[in-house]
Amino acid sequence: MKRISVLLFVLTLFLTSCNTSRVKIRGQIMGFTGNVKLMAEMPGEKGLVILDEKSVKDGKLELYSDVLNLPARVWVDLDGKRTIEFIVDSKDQIWIEGKAQFIDQVEVKGSGLAADYKKVLDILKNKYDNPIKDNMAKMQRLQNKEKPGKMDSQLIDYLIMQRTNYLRSRAKYAKKMVESNLSNEISLFLITDQLKDSLDLQKSLYKMLTISNKESNIYVTLGEKLNN
């Protein structure tokens, strides 16, 4: 009987090691205890689907999925205290780290695609998002005046026009980024996140993509959204 148990244990280890489709998301959040959920948008499903759920007592995170086709965007819920959204592009390189007392500072590392996408987002932030933020702050100050004058009203009109131009330029820049990177999976995230105000443009750019991996979660789920 003991020999049979040992054989079953060895067989289980063998089958686990042979599961080449398994995606592992691990990490360490010091002092964290609670329920952790791994979620993602899945082809043919509406909303987020729970792929794995674990009870954590020592801060050690180990989440797994056998159904994710990478790259994919996933969400990890930390006991309702915070939900982290990030890109997964490798089966065992993603690492979540931080401290429970600073849950808002928990970081995710290990994704090269996420790092490249962040560089694009930083460009958009510096070129457009920060100026738009300054624009909105100026307009708010003018609108909060007790007795705005004629010059204030004219300045508000100018700021509205300026903001509109920033938003148009931002969309054009994101569109150009996609058109210049039709074979790069970053374009899937640009289409999803940065061009959601224009469904027709999203559809047009999606059809132009020359990405070889058409089975990934992000590719398939984006296609489903655009065609529904």
Share of the chain above pLDDT 90, in %: 87
The pLDDT assigned to 149 comes to 86
71-117 pLDDT, tens per residue? 999 999 999 999 999 999 999 999 999 999 999 999 999 999 999 99
Answering whether pTM is above 0.75, one says yes
Distance CA 175, CA 194 (A): 9
pLDDT digits (tens, 9 = 90+) for 155-166: 999 999 999 999
- Band the pLDDT of 228: cuts 50, 70, 90: confident
Whether the per-residue pLDDT at 6 is higher than 50: the answer is: no
Cβ–Cβ contacts within 10 Å for residue 177, how many?
Answer: 18
Partners of 61 in the β-ladder: 27
**Predicted confidence (pLDDT) at residue 2 exceeds the cutoff of 60:** no
